[in-house]
Amino acid sequence: MIGINRRNFGLLAGGFLASTAMPAFAQAKGRIVVGTWGGDYQNLQQAHIADAVLKDSGIQVIFDPANDTVRKAKLLAERRLPRGTMDIACMTRQGSNELFTQGAVEELDETKIPNLSKVLPFIRTKYSVPHIYTGRVILYNPDQVSPAPTSYADLWDPKYAGKIGVIDIQYQTTIESAAMISGGGPSNYEPGKAKLMELKKQGVKVFATNEAMAQALKTGEIVMCIMWNARGYMWQKAGINIEIAIPKEGIAVYLSDMCVPKNAPNKEAAYAYLNAMLEEQPQVAFAENMGYAPTNSEVTLPPELAARVDYTPEQREKFIMPDLEYLLGVDSSLQDFWNKEFKA
């Protein structure tokens, strides 16, 4: 039998009052949920952010791994909830822009992310912190492709007909690459469609995923493809016989962001996490293991690694950034073209 006498009641009431007053001077601590890609992407965050930079911070990090499309669907569905399920959402730049446009993620309070000032200015946004980035390149098998490709147009060389592959989930970037050699560009994908139909006539192979493409490069079924530099680095490390060529049309940029949903339950800790992920150790770990360039401009990679995964100031000046507004508008028509004409 639990009796509550006046004294106990007073203690309980006092404790309750004290606990409600706590958030006013709360430190960033407690549990946060990081919605992220799983596998190595999650493991590296666990090892180099949660278990390293934030080790004694009192922040407990729980990962919620899924593909970004599932994560986006979840965030859009739960945006009207007062308390969401995620404190941090890892997104592609297109994804974070869409989530911000839809009102699902918040405009960041930059004073809470001191490291943000070190981030390369041209990849910053008000709604996301760039985590890692890489450039789009051409991967080729040096035994089969000679001379080395210098342009996306080399994929259309009849010499390689039937040995060129594209990736289903990379439909946007594939159409963009085709547009870049046919009078279009990041803000006009239209000319790319006709150009891709030529590639189709030459017997292009469409692979469902990046991994299927890696297998095809390994077995020699495919000799050349459009890919991210970071994937090229990972595949070289895995023993696939490929070289990386930078197209003369320019380096189009892929960005992975982290955002804070408007209804994140623990925003203070989320901001601490965003700041921690920009620290040198996790940034270098992602470069070494996955081949992504650091977004923190003050992080210096070992020269040999930098040569393979990072970009020189001259290259950065000529980066081709995605036109997010344009992509939001045309995405469904791009999907239509891809599925009904190109793949049909």
Partner 1 sequence: MIIFCGMSIMLLPLILILWLSVTSNEILALPVEGYSFRWFSEAFRQPQFLSGFLLSVTVATFATVAGLIVSVPAALVIVRRRFWGREALIQLLMSPLTVPAIVIGAALYITVVEVEIASGVPLVGSTAIFAAGHVLLTIPWCVRLLLASMEGLNQSIEEAAASLGASPASVIWRVTLPLIRPAMFAAGVFAFVVSFGNLEVSIFLSGPGQVTLPVAVMQYLEWKIDPTIAAVSVLQVLFVAVMLVISDRFVNISRMV
Residues lying near partner 1 in the complex (CB under 8 A): 33, 35, 37-43, 62-67, 70, 73-74, 77-78, 80-81, 83, 85-86, 209, 211, 214-215, 218-219, 234, 238-240, 290
Helices (H), 170-225: 171-180, 190-201, 210-219
Sign of CA dihedral 336, 337, 339, 344: positive
Q: Which is nearer to partner 1, 88 or 175 (CB)?
A: 88
Q: Which is nearer to partner 1, 169 or 328 (CB)?
A: 169
Helix (H) or strand (E) holding 34: strand 30-36
Whole-angstrom distance, CA of residue 224 vs CA of residue 144? 9
C-beta of 43: minimal distance to partner 1 in Å? 8
C-beta of 217: minimal distance to partner 1 in Å? 9
Q: Which is nearer to partner 1, 86 or 276 (CB)?
A: 86
Whether 175 and 189 have beta carbons less than 8 Å apart is answered as: yes
C-beta of 265: minimal distance to partner 1 in Å? 10
C-beta of 41: minimal distance to partner 1 in Å? 6
Of the candidates 134, 174, 308, the one whose C-alpha atom is nearest the C-alpha of residue 236 is 308
C-beta of 233: minimal distance to partner 1 in Å? 12
Q: Which is nearer to partner 1, 37 or 326 (CB)?
A: 37
Cis peptide preceding 65, ω within 30 of 0? no
Q: Which is nearer to partner 1, 40 or 325 (CB)?
A: 40
C-beta of 264: minimal distance to partner 1 in Å? 12
Of the candidates 208, 209, 233, 244, the one whose C-alpha atom is nearest the C-alpha of residue 287 is 233
Please enumerate in sequence order all residues whose Cβ is within 8 A of that of 9, keeping only pairs 6 or more positions apart, or say none: none
C-beta of 238: minimal distance to partner 1 in Å? 4
Q: Which residues pair with 134 in a beta bridge?
A: 254
Q: Which is nearer to partner 1, 41 or 140 (CB)?
A: 41
Q: Which is nearer to partner 1, 73 or 161 (CB)?
A: 73
Whole-angstrom distance, CA of residue 170 vs CA of residue 210? 9
Q: What angle do CA 258, 30, 108 make, to 5 degrees?
A: 30
C-beta of 178: minimal distance to partner 1 in Å? 26
Straight-line distance from the first to the last Cα atom of the chain, in angstroms, rounded to the nearest whole number: 74
Q: Which is nearer to partner 1, 64 or 268 (CB)?
A: 64
In angstroms, what CA-CA distances link 240 with 43, 87, 155?
23, 37, 19
Q: Which is nearer to partner 1, 146 or 209 (CB)?
A: 209
Whole-angstrom distance, CA of residue 297 vs CA of residue 275? 14
C-beta of 71: minimal distance to partner 1 in Å? 10
Whole-angstrom distance, CA of residue 72 vs CA of residue 89? 9
**DSSP structure string for 219-287:** HTS--EEEEEHHHHHHHHHTT---EEE--TT--BEEEEEEE-BTT-S-HHHHHHHHHHHTSHHHHHHHH
